[in-house]
Amino acid sequence: MNLASRKNLAVKILSIFTAFLFCGATAGSADVSQAAFDQLLKTNKELLETVTKLSKKVDVLEGRVDQAERTQQPASVAAPTGGEPGDGVLRTDGGDIQLSGFVDTSFNWNLRTPPTPAGGTNATGNSTLRSFDRESNTFDVNNIQLNIKRPAPEAGGVGFTTEFTYGTDAQVIESAGFLGGTDEFSIQEAFVELKAPIGSGLTVWVGKFATLHGAEVIENYMNWNASRSLLFNNAIPFTHTGIRAFYNWLDGKITTGLGLVNGWDNVIDNNNFKDIEAMVKWTPSENFSIAQNFMVGSQIVEDQGDQRYLFDTVATWVPLPNDLPKLTLMANFDFGTEERLGKTSPALEGGPADWQGYALYAKYDLYDWLTLAARWEQFWDDQGARTGTAALNQLWEMTYTADIKVYKNLLTRLEYRHDNADSKTAFDGGTAQNQDTVGASFIYLFG
């Protein structure tokens, strides 16, 4: 019990005792002498004086204790304006700087054992139409990613995001005009973030950032499947460099985005003509969302007249939230076309080219430590504008993935995938119509 509680208790006890004596003296005054009554009054007065003195002494002692406690405590530190205290690894005047990332390693086995590509360094060969898991029958360091960021305060302010990538994935996502695409190191994202207190809040990014398009992302563990889809590898870009703005409407149910960027995977503009990107995402409930993305601009060097158009749709749905809340479905559709693509692909003789495809996904959280996912997709590229060969007009694949999380920071992904094409010269060095692969990923996440 502290001093204040003791003081209050003492005052109450003595007050009650005094009142009791007073009342007792009054009630029995008829039975006692006048001298006895006077003695009781004197005693009552002395008790009240004692209570007053004790109360003053308690106040003095309480003040001394408070002073001692303040002296022992360290000086207070002003709370940062961005992020939550303790979330970052470096505290600055502008707010906590946060550190996170992961280490992604894998083993991929192609049942056909494809031949070594001409000039390749992988003695076991590459799986056809694969980008992030192209190395077959070998252990691989896919991605060591380090993220350093300071989110802009929601009330308004400035922050930044940087994502550094090292591994074979960096060779796939590298932007033209940057490090060249042959180094295992890449700066995946690097942008300044500005939040302006305008209406519901305007967010602006300036720098290099991931594309708006597609149902998947560069990071393995953030996708439902370990291997990337045909659409992600062929139908859309990976990153952009420029400026992008987001704004929410109707309490966040509608999100809009608009950007002006250098082009597809270009850090440096190759034709002095900027691409326009746009997004509208509708989220009427926590169980359904749909996003429509659009992009237009020229991708040909020194050519501003021949445009590339891209339409991308992604929908996510929890169909039975009451009966099967752990089942989630997703669908992705892409359509792209480019005018006079023959300027960069002579086989097309200068005519327009188009590509399109869809992917269907299903994911079920069987247990807290086990998630099952499946993907089915088809992709059409009649003129070989995206795959590089007209022989691969129609492609389809199916993928089955199991995510196992025995330890808190370790994700193990086991996957089987079957690819098929309408050409018997599509896979295994031009000798097969299909290929089957098995993969295992081991991903450690931190931060």
SS3 25: helix
26 DSSP assignment? H
- Classify each residue of 288-307 as buried b or exposed e, where b means 16 or more C-beta atoms within 10 Å of its C-beta: ebebebbbebbbbeebeebb
273 DSSP assignment? -
pLDDT of residue 62: 60
In whole angstroms, give the CA distance from residue 276 to residue 265.
Answer: 14
Please state, rounded to an integer, the average pLDDT across all residues of the chain: 83
With a pLDDT cut of 70, the percent of the chain lying above it is 74
pLDDT of residue 168: 92
- Cβ proximity of 219 and 143 under 8 Å: yes
Q: Residue 71 burial by CB count (10 A; 0-12/13-18/19+): exposed, middle or buried?
A: exposed
Sign of CA dihedral 334, 339, 344, 349: positive
pLDDT at position 9 over 50: no
pLDDT tens readout for residues 230-242: 999 999 999 999 9
The set of residues, in sequence order, having a beta carbon less than 8 Å from that of 112 and lying 6+ positions away, is 427, 428, 432, 435, 436
Mean pLDDT of the region 276-291? 98
347 DSSP assignment? G
pLDDT tens readout for residues 311-338: 999 999 999 999 999 999 999 999 999 8
Give the number of other CB atoms < 10 A from CB of residue 189: 19
pLDDT at position 354 over 80: yes
pLDDT of residue 271: 85
- Classify each residue of 393-431 as buried b or exposed e, where b means 16 or more C-beta atoms within 10 Å of its C-beta: bebbbebebebebeeeeebebebebebbbebeebbbeee
Mean pLDDT of the region 188-211? 96
- Cβ proximity of 192 and 207 under 8 Å: yes
pLDDT at position 288 over 80: yes
pLDDT at position 393 over 90: no
Mean pLDDT of the region 293-320? 91
pLDDT of residue 112: 86
